[in-house]
Amino acid sequence: MWVRRTEKVIPSVTRFRRDRPVRIRLTNVSERSAYVPAFNRLAVLVLIGDLPRAVGYVRLDSKKYKDWQVLAYENCRDRHLFKRECELYGQWLATQPPSVERRAYPTPVGVMKRSPEDALDVSADRLACAGRWEKILEQRERDE
């Protein structure tokens, strides 16, 4: 059995009877509707050892055919099944315990006042950055 893929359609052999293919599913990989004419040959049965006469056919056990099947399965997602799967995952996730324990904190009522002993020292001897740098330079000059 040899199959050939087109730009829009990928064939997948889905059923065998007595080691002979019986049914072929066509997967549309284009963004629009794809039509396959009745005379278009996507699969060819040939005798063992013979090759198909047209170009582009591959065997069912080849790597290229397996790559086509990956493309075919990638493009045939059932939206209803995916939606149901998302719902089931959400239900399952809701029943799971949290991975990190959350502590309960009281709800803030207002802005708290700082106690006098925790208050910042705002004495007059505090210097800005430039003043501190000048003091450090003066101290270094005295030490030298």
The string of pLDDT tens digits covering residues 45-82 is 555 556 665 666 677 777 877 777 777 666 666 677 77
pLDDT band (50, 70, 90) for residue 42: low
Average pLDDT of the chain, as a whole number: 74
Sign of CA dihedral 27, 31, 36, 42: negative
Which pLDDT belongs to residue 91? 92
Is the separation of the CB atoms in 62 and 4 below 8 Å? no
Which pLDDT belongs to residue 130? 78
Phi, psi of 76 (to 5 degrees): -115, 70
Which pLDDT belongs to residue 125? 58
pLDDT at 36 over 70: no
pLDDT band (50, 70, 90) for residue 38: low
Phi, psi of 75 (to 5 degrees): -95, 0
Which pLDDT belongs to residue 46? 59
pLDDT at 21 over 60: yes
Structure tokens at 84: 């149901």
Which pLDDT belongs to residue 1? 54
For the chain, percent helix, then strand, then coil, each to nearest 5? 35, 20, 50
Neighbours of 119 (CB within 10 A): 9
Structure tokens at 139: 């101290």
Q: Which tops the pLDDT comparison, 114 or 97?
A: 97
At 21, is the secondary structure helix, strand, or coil? Answer: strand
pTM of the model: 0.31
